A and B are shown apart, each in its own frame.
Chain A
Amino acid sequence: MMQDSILANIVTPQCARFDTPLHLKSGAVLDSYELVYETYGELNAARSNAVLVCHALSGNHHVAGSYADNPKNLGWWDNMIGPGKPIDTHKFFVVGVNNLGGCHGSTGPASINAKTGKHYGADFPVVTVEDWVETQVRLADYLGINHFAAVMGGSLGGMQAMRWALDFPERVRHALVIAAAAKLTAQNIAFNDVARQAIITDQDFHGGDYYSHGVVPRRGLRLARMLGHITYLSDDSMAAKFGRELRNGTYAFGFDVEFEIESYLRYQGDKFVDQFDANSYLLMTKALDYFDPAHEHNGDLSAAFRAVTANFLVLSFTSDWRFSPERSRTIIKALLDNELNVSYAEITSSHGHDSFLMEDRHYHQLVRAYMDNIVT
């Protein structure tokens, strides 16, 4: 049994190649591209138990389980997805995919452009949430999945789940939209732009073509991540975790690391630079900024949701100030106006936006209860 569960949690990333040109929202065309994905559980005979998990800004296809050659590399949502977990892979066939433009195997700015034989770099087109959904639909076709029992995600992942329900109502039965928003606020776009400016103004950025210079804009990406990280936590959780703790117990009257929070942020920034591509970071933040389904409907989100048929579970977290409960209530209003089946819970949590990734009993019970009622 023990061995069985370990084996069940071992996953292998796979790659799907698409040679049908992809017309992006920006007008650009990608002739071909690859998507890296992972699957968990078994697709049933009726092909009715598939769940697509969409990732957020810095996520990827490795949503659960671990790798045979690196058992410590657990998927980013492993506490949520797996055998016996809220998204139970005994029941569901779960698909995780690295989005187009990412840097974990799917075609992105760091990939080689077949036309030039060089890294795409600055030539990689800007991608939107709609474009991602289009590529995910193609992946679903490739996997023989006509419709998903559920499409789910947190933050930017929740935006993709919404977009699925908007653009492909016949292909998604349930959407789980967690810690998301129907559009970013000006404050949110502002944070994203400071992050982008940090990267773009780094001397090693070279207009996005840093690959050919053999450098990466480390300082810029590090700052972008540090800033982002502050906004993913809450004031309270930072206070509880770090307070004004000093590394060496006393003021040094200088500018080196003194407070624990400084040490933590610098560590997070450094770690991120080794795992993430700066151009992908720019693309992901742009996809966030552009997401606004109401835009094509004169700002009327309820009108935008008119074609939606999926049932929704919308979750928010009390301390999340970057994607606050108010933003989720805007989504709820649009769903209610269209008389759709929807449930909404506002989860008490002190962990800010990052709460959606945390293991919280009530949060996980809610997801489990909702998933248990999905007929496959």
Chain B
Amino acid sequence: MASSDTITLGVLHPVRLIPAANVNLTIMTATATTAPTSPIASRPDFAAIAAWVQSGSKVLDLGCGDGSLLCYLRDTRNVRGYGVEIDDANVLACLNNGVNVIQGDLESGLSSFESGSFDYVILSQTLQAMKHTEGIVREMLRVSREGIVSFPNFGYWKNRLQVVFGHMPVSETLPYQWFDTPNIHLCTLGDFEAFCHQHGVHILERRVMNGDHQITLAPNLLGMLAFYRFEWLK
């Protein structure tokens, strides 16, 4: 049976840890000798999000985990903001990291947050675990003009291959077995874009990554992680 860790929303970031592990060791040692860098400085998924966030802006990070993304954005983009997190251990980690965190359940909405009170709302690798996909996207675009989501691409070729061979995919970005996964709404790039189209969501930018590489060719097949920046269709 799934442990309590795997059924709560707050700890759905196993993927966040993987790019760091993938980083070329020689690069890591090289930076370590020149300047002390925190491990999160080598998180390509954080860098992808940060590239879209304007300096000094106000950010809400939904399902913020231990607050590392907010730390990263604070250190690299001078952002102010809050995280929302349900898991006790992660809330404590946020406090230890000096990150503003509001404990709460995303499924019950963002009623503590005023409409239009943020520059960006980020949902990093949590969308696929949300029960109410439409509800959370609507809430994101209520409290902020722009939303940013990232999610593991179910259409990634390694995932497809496993399905072809008769199994639910287990991979770097989808590290769970079918019976213990918190991911209930997995999708491909194509699925997400169709969802946006159907729900009046205008995609401003898309970025597809495989580790620290950006994928431009056949992204729905070769991309492991997808990032979207979006707003309401005007």
Which A residues contact B (CB, under 8 angstroms)? 313, 329, 332-333, 336-337, 339, 341-348, 362, 365-366, 369-370, 372-373
Contact = CB atoms under 8 A, between A and B. Distances in A.
A332 B96 contact: no
A300 to B, nearest CB: 13
Interface in B98-134: 98-104, 112-114, 117
B95 A343 contact: yes
B82 interface: yes
B102 A342 contact: yes
B96 A369 contact: yes
Contacts of A348: 88
B101 A336 contact: no
Contacts of B101: 343-345
Contacts of B100: 341-343
Given A343-B102, A344-B103, A345-B103, A370 B112 contact: no
B94 interface: yes
Interface of B: 58, 80, 82, 88, 91-92, 94-96, 98-104, 112-114, 117
Given A337-B114, A339-B58, 17 more contacts: A336-B82, A336-B113, A336-B114, A336-B117, A337-B117, A339-B80, A342-B100, A343-B91, A343-B101, A343-B102, A344-B101, A344-B102, A346-B103, A362-B88, A366-B91, A366-B92, A373-B96
A337 to B, nearest CB: 6
5 contacts: A344-B101, A345-B92, A346-B104, A365-B92, A373-B96
A372 B91 CA distance: 15
Nearest to B58: A339
B173 to A, nearest CB: 30
B117 A362 contact: no
B112 A366 contact: no
Contacts of B98: 373
Contacts of A332: 102, 112
Contacts of B94: 343
Given A341-B100, A343-B100, A348-B88, A333 B112 contact: yes
Contacts of B113: 336
Nearest to A372: B96
A369 B88 CA distance: 13
B88 A370 contact: no
Given A332-B102, A339-B80, A344-B103, A373 B95 contact: yes
The residue among B94, B102, B117 with the most chain A CB atoms within 10 A of its own CB is B102
Rank and list the top 5 A-B pairs by shortest CB-CB distance, nearest first: A369-B95, A369-B96, A345-B103, A344-B102, A373-B98
